[in-house]
Amino acid sequence: MYDYIVVGAGSAGCVLAARLSENSRVKVLLLEAGKSDAKQEIRIPAAFSKLFHTEYDWDYRTEAEPATANRPHYWPRGKVVGGSSSLNAMMYVRGHRSDYDLWRQAGNAGWSYDDLLPLFRRSEGFSGTGADSDYHGSDGPLPVADQRSPNAMTRAFIAAGESLGLVRVDINGASQDGVGLTHVNQKNGRRWSAADAFLRPAMRRANLTVQTECLVHGVTFEGRRANGVSYARKGKTAAAQAREVVLCAGTIGSPQILMLSGIGPAAALSDHGIAVVADVPGVGQNLQDHIASGATYQCRQPVSLASAESLGNLARYLVFGRGPLTSNVGEALAFIRTREGLAAPDLELIFAPSYFMEHGAANPPGHGFTVGAVLLRPESRGWLALRSRDPAAAPAIRPNYLSAPADLAALIAGVRYVRRLVAADAFTPYRGEEVWPGAHRRDDGALGDFIREKCESLYHPVGTCKMGSDSLAVVDERLRVRGIAGLRVADASIIPTIVGGHTHAAAVMIGEKAAEMIATDACA
């Protein structure tokens, strides 16, 4: 019998399990569907895309999307200790103050930016330069660092932005509008996931048990109170009991487990022969994701990441923790507003000193660079639903990309801005032929066609177990599942409206917030 069962060792789950186990009087069980994170490519920053489509990746596909040329979209998600923080580009980008204030304005007490900034700072071990210390923590377990060996073209991107009037900023500081180097979750040039930062030190504690390769089949109940989980491990079924269960299985996994457990839209559950424990219509709804387009160019000099894996660069990395293998690929960022009257930037520009076409799978030979334009606040909303009662079967995922016309208009504006940026003098030594969209695509119609044909996810799905008090809310502001005692969700699925940043930082904060609330409620 445990006090707490945490399902999922991703960004939030690692934080939550570590923080809960700080109390030696409680017993914590952490269950992870994936394997250990011992694989070498996980540690090498520039190698992250080599983990795509492997056993460390859930390797999801969406349904064919009508507004994006009827294409299904690839969604990599970490199936490994550390979750997607063991698979991502290590970009630590919290988002805009207004993102979190909007959560609070929707009725979620305790979730404004001012409420959450201390939690961001608590997690953070910031070692960068030129940042505002009021917005960063220096003593937390999660390293947030400057790039060790930024590419020469990355400096050109920043200079080009400044020539267009963008201000050099600390992306996680007082103002997001502007341009700057990406802060990364690295230590001495190596990836430092949520597992490295939080979980591994905590695993020395006798009161924390971590089990890998455990596929949770569902939550178990005594009446309308959760009392444990059932799961399969290496072909054998098992069960564990606790006084509280917390789902940290992510935007896809957490709603799937809820629905398999009988919590979700009653009619849909009944169609699959699942007994309804609680009719919660919002489970699987409110799906949001960042979608990206942009432009890719040939590089006139052999300075891109195309040669990062040379023997010399491998030696630099292994001996000194420096060189192009320390690159997170998305080395610099800019946040811009495409029209007047916006409360916050609506586009993020990500600079990669390499080709990054179709998730890196369609890169041509030679040297190139990419400037991605990311839609930060999509109006489009999607959903996910069970395909079957089989816990190993991926759910149906329908993000409804570009279903709102304003989303396509913003991305077209983004491609036009990228072209202006790359035309700046700072890029003259590097700028070659435009590969994507291609110089022949000039008007809005042609650019819109290109975006529909080539846009892809930036891997930030959120919202399918929405926090709030409206009819689609799945959890309340203390992350308790509606209508069920002893059950919470604590991961990116609870985000009601997507942040204008990257979701790893927000998920770590959610883990911190959940641990704080659970400890407080246990003493009440």
Residues annotated catalytic, as ranges? 460
User: Residue 70: what residue type?
Assistant: N
501, 187 Cβ separation under 8 angstroms: no
**Radius of gyration, CA atoms only, the chain:** 22
**Residue with tokens 């992250």, as numbered in its chain:** 48
How many angstroms separate the CA atoms of 376 and 500, rounded? 5
Least Cα distance to 99 among 172, 41, 17 occurs for: 172
In sequence order, the 6+-apart residues with CB closer than 8 A to the CB of 235 are none
Element (H, E) at 256: helix 250-260
The β-bridge partners of 242 are: 2
Report the alpha-carbon distance of residue 361 to residue 379 in Å, rounded.
Answer: 29
Residues 60 and 295: their CA atoms lie apart, in Å, by 25
In sequence order, the 6+-apart residues with CB closer than 8 A to the CB of 93 are 171, 172, 182, 183, 333, 348, 501, 502, 505
CB atoms within 10 A of CB 99: 23
Q: How many angstroms separate the CA atoms of 264 and 247, rounded?
A: 15
User: Which residue, among 522, 511, 504, has the nearest Cα to 172 in the 3D structure?
Assistant: 504
Length of the chain: 524
d(CA 92, CA 298): 28
What are the structure tokens assigned to 151, written together?
């590419």
Q: Which residues pair with 348 in a beta bridge?
A: 335, 374
User: Dihedral of CA 478/479/481/484: which sign?
Assistant: negative
8 Å CB contact between 458 and 294: no
Cα separation, 176 vs 179, whole angstroms: 8
- Ranges of H-type helices in 186-249: 194, 200-202
One-letter identity of residue 483: G
User: What's the rounded Cα separation, in Å, for the pair 135 and 152?
Assistant: 28
